[in-house]
Amino acid sequence: MASVTLRALEKRYPDGYHAVRGVSLDIADGEFLVLVGPSGCGKSTTLRMVAGLEEISGGTIRIGDRVVNDVAPGDRDIAMVFQNYALYPHLTVRENMAFGLTMRRMPRPEIDRRVAAAAESLSISHLLTRRPRELSGGQRQRVALGRAIVREPQVFLFDEPLSNLDAKLRVQMRAEIAALHRQLAATVIYVTHDQVEAMTLGQRIALMNHGVVQQVDAPLAIYHRPANRFVASFIGSPTMNFFSGTVSDNAFQVTSGGPRLPLNTAAMPAGPAVLGIRPEDFVASMQGDCVPFATVTLDMAEHLGHETLAHFTLPGGGPAIARLPGDAAAQVGHRVDLAVRRQALHVFAADEDGRRLN
C-alpha cells in the first residue's frame, strides 16, 4: 500500500473549462478518503487524473514516493471500480477478473489462486463461468470489485461505484466495501455525490465544489464544524437552515424583527452575517442547554414515524425545517415554541464565500 499526495492539481479543458483548481490532498497509507460534492464539482476528474485517465494541466501526483504525472495508467499500480462496472462483456467473470493479471504476464497458478480467493471473499465463486450479461447489477458490481482486488494494487479508486444499485443493495454493498477496506487495509480514494456514503465510509472526507476543495476532515468534524456555508448546506439532510441577520455585541439578530440569539461573538466582526441551524438542533420545548428561538406557525408537518419534519417560515425569512420527535403532535397551522441548542449555532460570513465565523 502507499500514500497518495496531490499538490496544486489543475485541470483545464481545451474549451477553457476549469474543472479542477489547485487541489492539494494528502492521503495516508491505508486511509479511506471520500471525495464528495455535487455533480460537476471536479471530484471525478480529480480521481481520473490520479488514475491517469485524464491528463493533468498542472501540479503533481505522487503515489508512494513516485511522481506519476506522466506514468501510464497501467503502470501506476492502481485499480479502479467504475460507476457503470465497465466489465468486459465478451469475457467470462473469471476472465474479467484475471484480465489485468494476464496482461501483466503473471504465472497461471498465481492468477488462479488470486481469482479464486477474491471470488470466495465476494461470494461470486459460482458465477466464474458466466458472462456479465447473465449477472444482476449487484453481482456485476461484485465482479468489478473482484477485478480490482485480485490486482492487489497500492491504491484503490472508486468512482461512484454504488450509484447504479437500488437502495437496499447499496446499503449492503456499502457495508461490504467498508469490511473490504478493513480486511485489505488498502489506501482508498472513493468518489461519491451521496453524503450518506461519504459519512459512513470515509475516515476523512474531502468536500469539493467548483473544482476547489472546500474542507478536508473527519466526517463528524465536517458535520459539526462546517468550514463554510456550502459545506454546511451539502452535509446533512434535510439541509441546514440559514437565516440572514446581523452580528452585534454577543448576539445574532435575525433580520426583520426575528429572534435575537445570545452568542459568543468575540472572534466575529460585527455586521451582516448568516446564521445556520440544522433541523435536528431545534427542540420543541426548552431544555437546559437551549436558547429560545421563536414561536412559529407550521406550514406543513411530515410525519415519518421516527421523526416529524416541521416546516415553517420566519417573518421576513425563507422557509425552514425543524426535525422534531416522531410523536410530536404537530399539525399544519399549529403554533410551536421552538428553542435551539446553544452549541449548535453556526455563523457564516454574508459574502459569497460564506466562511465560518464562529
* Beta-carbon count within 10 A of 135 CB: 18
Sheet holding 58-63, edge to edge: 18-27, 4-12, 58-63, 66-67
Copy the grid coordinates of residue 346. 453556526
Instruction: Report the 3 state secondary structure along 292-316.
Output: EEEEEEEEEEEECCCEEEEEEECCC
223 binds another protein (CB under 8 A): no
306 binds another protein (CB under 8 A): no
168 binds another protein (CB under 8 A): no
Q: How many residues bind another protein (CB under 8 A)?
A: 33
129 binds another protein (CB under 8 A): no
For another protein, the closer CB: 131 or 342: 131
- 149-174 per-residue burial string, b: 16 or more CB within 10 A, e: under 16: bbbebbbbbbbbbbebbeeeebeebb
Q: How far apart are CA 213 and CA 227, in angstroms?
A: 11
Type of residue found at 326: G
19 binds another protein (CB under 8 A): no
Q: What is the CA radius of gyration of the chain?
A: 24
- Select the residue interacting with another protein from 37, 132, 202, 258 (CB under 8 A): 132
**In angstroms, how far is the first alpha carbon of the chain from the final one?**
39
128 binds another protein (CB under 8 A): no
Q: How far is the CB of 300 from another protein (least distance, A)?
A: 36
52 binds another protein (CB under 8 A): yes
> Which range in 50-58, 234-242, 320-328, 350-358 contacts another protein by CB under 8 A?
50-58
For another protein, the closer CB: 96 or 265: 96
138 binds another protein (CB under 8 A): no
Angle, helices 137-149 vs 93-103, to 10°: value is 20
- Select the residue interacting with another protein from 6, 79, 328, 330 (CB under 8 A): 79
Window 252-291: residues binding another protein (CB under 8 A): none
147 binds another protein (CB under 8 A): yes
Q: What is the largest CA-CA distance in the chain?
A: 76
> Which range in 70-78, 238-246, 296-304, 332-340 contacts another protein by CB under 8 A?
70-78
Binding site for another protein (CB under 8 A): 14, 51-53, 72-75, 78-80, 82, 84-90, 99-100, 103-104, 131-135, 137, 140, 147, 151, 164
